[in-house]
């Protein structure tokens, strides 16, 4: 079975408070993006895990795909599988690629072995693997609260045009980024702001990570400034970075100015 775990961007991200469990309560709108990894899950004689594509840091045994399999294995008598993850979504970019891979591993196992798990139960399992993993079970625009695992569907109307996601040649460690943040109560209603004209979003919708991440990585701040100068209706850091995205009405506005070592994703809205 082959599936295509997709990325996400954050339309606004407010860090509200630090929780007793070490996580943070947030408010954010998670929006699906078509930038995808490739995940193959096959029944096998023993559990194996292989990767290709972009290099994935850390021990393979700690990969979220294997954690997803072991989580399912605790609840269902599933046979061993071979998992092959071809990594395309940039790592340390705030695009949720690792979370997507974990959620899609759960989905693949459910389908492969016809497991009696409802989507609601699948969301609950995904939430155990990481804050935004639950989003990828449905993969539809959602207002995320709690540690990112409490999801409320939201209608988002982006202007007809293009979404451009740009990843500079730096990675931001999510845990380090949260360590730099000073949580504070929300100053505006993100859901209400998202219902406004996207032409006004730049003044209404913010990402709390920008100030700290921009100070540590000026290249990311310059990237956002460039996207806006090139005519983006709205531009923002995604998650804790390092990716920055821009929403454009016209393709010729953003052109092809990006340096060769930047990774780019463009999709029509």
Domain assignments of the chain as residue spans, ordered by start: 2-153, 162-268
Nearest to 141 by CA among 5, 3, 8: 8
Lowest mean pLDDT among 142-151, 156-165, 255-264: 255-264
Please determine, for residue 255, whether its predicted confidence score (pLDDT) is greater than 80.
Answer: no
Q: Which residues contact 58 (CB under 8 A, 6 or more apart)?
A: none
- 3-class DSSP assignment, residue 94: coil
Contact 127, 142 (CB under 8 A): no
- Winning range, highest mean pLDDT, from 12-26, 89-103, 254-268: 89-103
The angle formed by the CA atoms of residues 249, 250 and 254, to the nearest 5 degrees, is 110
- Res 256 pLDDT > 80: no
Q: What is the pLDDT of residue 187?
A: 78
Question: Per CATH, is 2-153 categorized as 3.30.230.10?
Answer: yes
pTM over 0.75: yes
Q: pLDDT, tens digit, for every residue of 107-150?
A: 999 999 999 999 999 999 999 998 899 999 999 999 999 989 99
Tokens encoding 34: 């078509």
Q: Does the CA dihedral 144-148-150-151 come out positive or negative?
A: positive
| DSSP sequence for 132-198 | TTTHHHH-S-EEEETTTTEEEE----PPSSEEEEEE-S----HHHHHHH------SS-HHHHHTS-G
Q: With 90 as the cut, is the pLDDT of residue 179 above it?
A: no
Tell me what pLDDT residue 175 has: 85
Could you tell me whether strands 48-53 and 81-87 are parallel, antiparallel, or unpaired per DSSP bridges? parallel
Buried/exposed code over 123-156 (b: 16+ C-beta within 10 A; e: otherwise): bebbbebbbbbbbbbebebbbbbbbbbebeebee
Using DSSP's 3-state secondary structure scheme, residue 224 falls into: helix
Give, for 247, the enclosing helix (H) or strand (E).
Answer: strand 244-248
Active site residues: 8, 132
- Say if domain 162-268 classifies as CATH 3.30.70.890: yes
């Amino acid at each position: 079975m082959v599936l295509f775990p997709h990325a996400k961007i954050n339309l606004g991200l407010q860090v509200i408070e630090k929780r007793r469990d070490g996580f943070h309560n947030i408010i954010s709108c998670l929006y699906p993006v078509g930038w995808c990894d490739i995940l193959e899950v096959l029944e096998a004689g023993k559990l194996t895990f292989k990767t290709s594509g972009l290099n994935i840091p850390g021990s393979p045994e700690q990969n979220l795909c294997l954690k997803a399999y072991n989580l399912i294995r605790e609840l269902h008598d599933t046979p061993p599988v071979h998992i092959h993850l071809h990594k395309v979504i940039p790592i340390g970019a705030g695009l949720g690629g690792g979370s997507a891979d974990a959620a899609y591993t759960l989905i693949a196992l459910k389908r492969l072995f016809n497991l009696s798990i409802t989507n609601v139960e699948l969301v609950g399992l995904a939430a155990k693997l990481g804050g935004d993993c639950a989003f990828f079970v449905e993969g539809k625009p959602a207002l995320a609260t709690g540690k990112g695992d409490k999801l409320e569907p939201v209608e988002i109307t982006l202007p007809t045009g293009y979404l451009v996601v740009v990843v500079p040649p730096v990675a931001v460690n999510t845990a380090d980024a949260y360590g730099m943040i000073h949580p504070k109560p929300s100053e505006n209603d993100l859901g209400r702001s998202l219902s406004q004209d996207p032409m006004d979003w730049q003044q209404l919708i913010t990402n709390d990570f920008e100030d700290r991440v921009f100070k540590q990585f000026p290249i990311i701040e310059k990237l956002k400034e460039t996207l806006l100068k090139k005519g983006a209706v709205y531009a923002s850091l995604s998650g804790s970075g390092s990716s920055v995205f821009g929403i454009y009405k016209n393709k010729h506005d953003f052109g092809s100015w990006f340096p060769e070592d930047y990774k780019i994703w463009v999709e029509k809205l």
